[in-house]
Structure formats: structure tokens, C-alpha cells
Homo-oligomer: A and B are copies of this chain.
């Protein structure tokens, strides 16, 4: 039974990692694990793990540890991975192609359409789905009650596209564009993946690492 009062976004962001590690343990046939052993495997502290999982009601038993399969499925439930939220991907360039190859179905989403404005890419097939003309988006969303849009488009296109999608009732975005949707719209869910921000963070950390170790690479 989940007790959801204490859940911060940083706890939520750690859950997928628990899910991955528990999935690996399951594959290896591990039936149960103590918080200490799980901590060693994941390079966390045992108290961090107990604290995180207590947010959802614990799942562990004193002297027994965690039932790996149960915990794996409980985390999947918490994350909504058994849901089938209707989703479209917009942009079928290299990034869009890479994204479409992710197993959406295992992660809570039902990927039902891919759209692209470049005529050369329209009609091609990615992971079993035919790429449609982006002018079809409006009709498609109205017909299919699309819930989530994945934006694999440049910043310049994102502005008017987001306006259209929100007018069509889309409430959640997985956003790879550099358009900061959350700055302009309230009451929507935006999960940003800003790849160049991540690369800049790496740049800082590399520079800092060199300085602290007084090395030239």
C-alpha cells in the first residue's frame, strides 16, 4: 500500500534506476535482497534505500529484506508502467528514429503515431510504424485522443507546434527541443531532455576533475 505524502521529485527520479537494477536481479534469479546488499549493488547507502522505499509503504521486512519480484512490480505500478497512454512522436530525423526504437509499451505508453514535415521521410517505416505527414497531426489527435507528445524537433518549430498540440488537448510532453514549454504554459506535464545542457554539465565536471586532480588528461 503506497503512502504518497512524502514523495519528492528527486525520489521519483530515482525509481527508474531501482526498477532497472531489480529487473537485472530478477533475470539473475535473485529472489530476495537486503537493503544493505541492494545498496552495495547500486552504490547507494542502505538508509537512503529504506528512506526512498518507505515513501511508498516500505515493502521490506525486518530480517528478510525485500522480495525482489514483488518490489519490481510495485515500483512498476507506482511508475504507471502498466498504463497505455496514447502517445505520438513528432520529428523522424536521427533523434526521432532513436526515440521510436525505445520500448514505449514497456514504459507506460502506447506509441500510435510518428509525424515528420520532411517529405523524404514521410512514408518510411521505423520500428513497424509508418511516418506520417505532420499536416495530419490535427486530424490524427482529434480522431485518436492522443495524450502525450514527444518533441524531436528544432526549437524554431516547437513554438507553434506546442500551441497547436495544447489546443488539441495534449497535456504532457517529452521534450527534446530547446523550447522551454513550462515557461509559457501552466497545468501541463513537461519532462525535458536537453542533451546540450547535459553536455555542458559534463564540460564543467571534466574541467573540475582536471583541476582537483591537477592533471592534464
The copy count of this chain in the complex is: 2
Contact across chains for B145 and A204 when beta carbons are under 8 A apart: no
Contact B193 A198, beta carbon cutoff 8 Å: yes
Contact A83 B205 (CB under 8 A): no
Q: Is B99 touching A195 in the complex (CB atoms < 8 A)?
A: yes
Please, which residues of chain B bring their CB within 8 A of the CB of A148? 202, 206
* Minimal beta-carbon separation of A194 from chain B (angstroms): 7
Query: With A and B bound together, what is the CA distance between A111 and B217 in angstroms?
Result: 15
- What number of A residues sit within 8 Å (CB to CB) of B? 60
Residues of chain A in range 195-211 having any CB-CB distance to chain B below 8 Å: 195-207, 209
User: Chain A: interface secondary structure?
Assistant: helix
In the complex, A182→B42 CA distance in Å? 9
Q: How far apart sit A147 and B209, CA to CA, in the bound complex (Å)?
A: 12
Q: How far is the CA of A19 from the CA of B86 in the complex (A)?
A: 34
Asked if A203 and B99 sit within 8 Å, CB to CB, the answer is no
**Partner-B contacts on A (CB < 8 A):** 12-13, 15-17, 19-20, 41-43, 78-81, 83, 85-86, 93-95, 97-99, 101-104, 107-109, 145, 147-148, 169, 171-172, 174, 178, 180, 182-183, 189, 191, 193-207, 209, 217
Verify B191–A193 contact, CB threshold 8 A.
no
